[in-house]
Amino acid sequence: MFYFAVIINNTGMQPSKKLTFWQMWNLSFGFFGVQIAYALQSANISRIFATLGADPHQLSFFWILPPLMGMIVQPLIGKWSDRTWCRMGRRKPYLLVGAIVAVLVMAFLPNAGSLNFSQRLFLGLNGAMWFGLFSLIFLDTSINVAMQPFKMMVGDMVGEEQKAQAYSIQSLLCNAGSLVGYLFPIFFTWIGIANTAPKGVIPPSVVWSFYCGAAILILCVLYTFAKVKEMPPAEYAAFHGIGEIRRSEPANDGKEGLLKLLLHAPKTFWTVGLVQFFCWAAFMYMWTYTNGAIAANCWGTTDPASEGYQAAGNWVGVVFAVQAVGSILWALVLPKFKSLRLAYVVSLLIGAAGFISVAFVHNQYLLFVSYFLIGAAWAAMLALPFTLLTNALSGEHMGSYLGLFNCTICLPQIVAAALGGGVLKLVGGVQARMLVIAGVLLVCGSLAVALVQEHNKK
């Protein structure tokens, strides 16, 4: 039996066994706005906390709570959305709520240094850092709440033969959003908005970047919300070839706890999860230490209040944008590989070379090569894990498993952040050497790909 998937696009409602390019585009378009917010966070958080007064050895600790919240929230969002069948849809209500919260937090976070919270409080952190920390927790959590439904909707509404293409489109939109988010600070500096501020205050160029990112985020999410119609229960069951789903107890999910689902997860869940562990730990170190590494290597400063450090902060956005371009271009190459595993291995090794080279580059423009190579690993991380996993899942409990799979993104970030300060001491306090550690982690990830089996159906 075939299910005729229905998505609203520019020409109205159009039934088809397979989705057109623009239907898949509409399905993931909101991801563009979500990724702008994520890019602003990943490129500027270390800069923000360093400006607020954080010591370099403390920086990684500010990244522990956000992924920890993600580990708690994402499986619940997956399970709850599996059991949600309402007029607005199944995943879309969570998408909208996550986006609204993210927009509100993005309006407050960059103003942490302007609230006169300079007094040292608990654990030696001043009030501004505590305000920023809690804002970061809510921002990362809300971004993930908004982000996960897009991955789940592709798993829900796209057939196996089109899934790689659908996730590639999502990866393209993701990287395009990253490109915009990364370039916002240097763009606002270029048009004349100040890139420096009094000590402990976030520069206006960063503040305005968050404001504009928030506006684009909500507009893009509303577009997908309006254009996409999710499947009702009976059609969803027919599409995935599973038993009849009742609105009160979809796919018997109420009888399956998350722990039980985890114990019965397909082997692909665990093997791809191991690869994910190494990859996301590597990128955690990139996000945490790139600003300090570039400031020291290319601008010769470690003082967050200096003009050179803030200029390096802008340059982080530029090299991350180069990474996004590299990722977009590499995403076009990935479908050329006959084996997803081979594509995975090659991508991670190219990214590892990029990471390691950063420690030896002292010219800001030569960093373009390094981060272009890193983009290959990022492209693979965005597309291949979810393609491999969703092909190994039935449509039953799709959201729950994708929510649980998000722990393979969150857990390595928590571990890397918890160990970051200690590892930094072991490498002599030189932040550029943390990028070498990131490269080694990607090499380990490439070796772990050998354990992954393709098309491992339950």
Domain contains 13 = no
Query: What are the pLDDT digits (tens) for 152-180?
Result: 888 788 877 787 788 778 878 888 898 89
Residue 1 counted as domain residue = no
Cα–Cα distances (Å) from 20 to 8, 229, 384, in that order, read 11, 15, 21
Predicted pLDDT at 4 = 28
State the pLDDT confidence band at 125, using cuts at 50, 70 and 90.
low
- CA 402/CA 400 separation, integer angstroms: 6
Residue 163, token pair as written in the block = 């899934």
Asked whether residue 101 is assigned to any structural domain, the reply reads yes
Cα(200)–Cα(117) distance, rounded to whole angstroms?
A: 10
State residue 395's pLDDT score: 57
Q: Residue 457: what pLDDT?
A: 44
Residue type (1 letter), 243: G
In a domain, 81, yes or no: yes
> If pLDDT is split at 50, 70 and 90, which confidence band does 248 have?
very low
In a domain, 327, yes or no: yes
Q: What is the spatial distance between Cα 309 and Cα 302, in angstroms, rounded to a whole number?
A: 7
pTM (predicted TM-score) = 0.73
Give the pLDDT band of residue 126 (cuts 50, 70, 90).
low
Cα 397 to Cα 278: distance, rounded to the nearest angstrom: 26
Domain at 268, CATH number? 1.20.1250.20
CA-wise closest residue to 42 among 214, 290, 212: 290
What span, in angstroms and rounded, lies between the C-alpha atoms of 78 and 156?
12
Residue 117 has pLDDT above 60, yes or no: no
pLDDT of 265 over the 80 cut: no
Q: Which residues of 141-152 are buried (b: 16+ CB within 10 A; e: fewer)?
A: bbbbbbbbbbbb
Do the domain assignments include residue 276? Answer: yes
Assign 3-state DSSP to the chain and report helix, strand, coil percentages, each to 5.
Answer: 75, 5, 20
User: Is pLDDT above 90 for 297?
Assistant: yes
Q: Which residues contact 322 (CB under 8 A, 6 or more apart)?
A: 367, 368, 371, 372, 375
Quick check: 250 pLDDT over 70?
Answer: no
Kindly state the average pLDDT of the residues 412-432.
91
Residue 90: domain span: 20-241+257-451
Highest mean pLDDT among 11-25, 210-224, 382-396: 210-224
- Tens digits of per-residue pLDDT, 427-437? 999 999 999 99
Overall domain count for the chain: 1
What the block records as the tokens of 279 is: 């990859």
For 133-150, what is the mean pLDDT? 83
Residue 456 lies in a domain: no
**Which one is predicted more confidently, 106 or 238?**
106
Q: What is the dihedral of CA 68, 73, 75, 81, to 10 degrees?
A: -160
